[in-house]
């Protein structure tokens, strides 16, 4: 059973702090990794993709990938109340790359 | 939402009745997906399509069928709805296999 694991949270951080969201995956063959943000009652939207070990930065967001340890993380710097949402980690199914496997998501709460 | 329209947005139906959900895209993307989202389970793939008349099953395909007769339309049919199929259904599109998905607004389906 291929799995993507996330802590469901909620993760509560004060405004201006760094929020750190983590995700582990079970299959070493996965090559593509994504973070989606989902506001309550809305559809998921893609915020980051990462394919190589290391860090990838986009504005206040940094995705980190460590294939040896099979984890991917998302850092949100200078967290804002508008960042309060559920963050979904997604990983491609290695032997059928048409498919993405999603984690159950981590709920982030940023308080003023 | 990146040229994706789901219809209906809300539907209430009775156990045993057939239901069809429609996904329409204007992006001319090859890949289309149907997911369901339930508390505690995250997004789970029902079926997907990799071209006109080309479809494949996801992890929760039992009780569902799909059809894609045109690039822009992907239909999800519940042949005989059950209460366990009460869920939020999302359609997603992708230009490349298993890559960045763009989601529709979702359909809230209630089976009584």
> Which tens digits make up the pLDDT trace of B4-28?
999 999 999 999 999 999 999 999 9
Q: How many CB atoms sit inside 10 A of residue A99's CB?
A: 21
Nearest CA in chain B to A93: B98
Whether A98 and B100 lie within 8 Å, measured CB to CB: no
Does residue B1 surpass a pLDDT of 60?
A: no
**Nearest-CB residue to A46 (from B48, B97, B101):** B101
**Nearest-CB residue to A88 (from B42, B45, B97):** B42
CA atoms B1, B6, B9, B12: torsion sign:
negative
Residues of chain A with pLDDT under 50: none
**pLDDT exceeding 70 applies to what percent of chain B?**
97
């Amino acid at each position: 059973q291929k799995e993507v694991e996330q802590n469901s949270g909620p993760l509560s951080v004060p405004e201006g702090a760094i929020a750190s969201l983590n995700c582990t995956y079970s299959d070493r063959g996965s090559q593509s990794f994504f973070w989606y943000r989902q506001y309550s009652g809305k559809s998921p939207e893609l915020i980051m993709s990462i394919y190589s070990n290391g860090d990838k930065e986009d504005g206040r967001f940094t995705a980190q990938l460590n294939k040896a340890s099979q984890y991917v993380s998302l850092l949100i710097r200078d967290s804002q109340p508008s960042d309060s949402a559920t963050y979904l980690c997604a990983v491609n199914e290695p032997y059928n790359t048409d498919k993405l496997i999603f984690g159950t998501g981590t709920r982030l709460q940023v308080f003023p | 939402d990146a040229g994706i329209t789901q219809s209906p947005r809300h539907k209430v139906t009775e156990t045993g009745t057939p239901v069809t959900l429609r996904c329409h895209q204007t992006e001319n993307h090859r890949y289309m997906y149907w997911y369901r989202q339930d508390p505690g389970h995250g997004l789970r793939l029902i079926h997907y399509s990799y071209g006109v008349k080309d479809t494949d099953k996801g992890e929760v395909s039992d009780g569902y069928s799909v059809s894609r007769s045109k690039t822009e339309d992907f239909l999800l049919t519940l042949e005989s709805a059950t209460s366990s199929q009460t869920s939020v259904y999302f359609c997603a599109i992708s230009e490349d296999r298993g890559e960045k998905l763009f989601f529709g607004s979702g359909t809230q389906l209630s089976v009584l």
